[in-house]
Amino acid sequence: MAVFKKKDKAVKEKEEKKEAAKAEKKVKAPVTEAKAIGRDLRLTPRKARLLIDLVRGKNISNAVAILNNTNKLGARDIIKVINSAASNATNNFSMNYDKLYIKEIYAGDGVKMKRYMPRAKGSASGLVKRACIVTVVVKER
């Protein structure tokens, strides 16, 4: 019987050590930024970068106001991605909307649709319809 008691104590000690290690791992740093990704927006990355450069580093409300007054077709899609990132921050991580600013925003290549355009004398030339992926990271000031 004494042998079993020693084993039980050893097993209990191991379990307590595991629980203590799990408790230490659960402590995480608070989340300070939120992210949203707009995939395959029908806007070329080059034209998206023109709009993105206008709002990088600005407050969310100022950035949306700037894009609303910009006479470009792709501004609508970029506003949607910015608002989505702000919503993720406020709803998922309980950040204050008024303190949010755009920490990172960039556009990369998306899908390229290849089409043909008819030309003179029955020939055709290639046409590439580009899309982009816009990523927005917002953070509290």
Q: Say what the pLDDT of residue 4 is.
A: 57
pLDDT per residue over 84-100, tens digit each?
A: 999 999 999 989 999 99
Share of the chain above pLDDT 90, in %: 76
When the pLDDT of each residue in the chain is averaged and rounded to a whole number, the result is: 90
Residue 134 confidence (pLDDT) above 70: yes
Integer CA distances (angstroms), 139 to 47, 58, 76, 85, 117, in order:
25, 11, 22, 10, 45
CATH pick for 32-107+134-140 out of 3.90.470.10, 2.40.160.20, 3.30.200.100, 3.30.50.10: 3.90.470.10
In sequence order, which residues have a C-beta less than 8 Å from that of residue 40 and are 6 or more positions away? Answer: 110, 111, 131, 132, 133
The model's pTM: 0.77
